[in-house]
Structure 1
């Protein structure tokens, strides 16, 4: 069985988003938003490694909510592996997951109080 070669420029295209119009947000702003998301993930990792799990949970949840905003406004090609399914599914998943994490971090009492 032979596989068809991927034409140049289509390797990062999300097949669910091929019919969507390009984003009106400038590419530099899209990359800045992705950098802020990655900074949030790194900060959540630092909090988790330093045993500040509530801060880590809140930061990770807020980063996932930011990813939902990015998914709505950025092109799939710029997001790369962060755009898994369709734009609606990814946004709904990130909102639910991020919202649940922020809720959990806010609703659990601190151990010292």
Structure 2
């Protein structure tokens, strides 16, 4: 959980510096990291990442993280990185 929160903190710093695309990619990456942790670690070790069943959590986090990274990578920046 600490690793995921640390990556989210990096994402917030990027967004605060008007680097919304990098921040969104980091946020999506944090979601994908959470999915990997939920998949690999036992339920008692993942803490707050365990919301529902393991397959549901992994599927939902993977889908959400992938969509965030895809959108951040494909949206036109209009001159802003």
- With normalisation by structure 2, the TM-score equals 0.88
2:52 maps to 1:85: yes
SS of 1:65's equivalent in the other structure is helix
What are the Cα deviations for residues 10-30 of structure 1, in whole angstroms up to 9, with x where unaligned?
xxxxxxxxxxxxxxxxxxxxx
Coordinate RMSD, CA, aligned:
1.4
Q: Give the gaps of 5 or more residues in structure 2.
A: none
Between Structure 1 and Structure 2, which shows a larger proportion of helix residues?
A: 2
SS of 1:85's equivalent in the other structure is coil
Instruction: Give runs of ≥4 in structure 1 deviating > 4 Å.
Output: none
Task: Tell me the equivalent position of 1:45.
Answer: 12
Task: Tell me the equivalent position of 2:43.
Answer: 76
Tell me how far apart the structure 2 counterparts of residues 36 and 101 of structure 1 sit (CA, whole Å): 19
Equivalent residue runs for 1:1-113 within 5 Å: 34-112=1-79
- With normalisation by structure 1, the TM-score equals 0.65
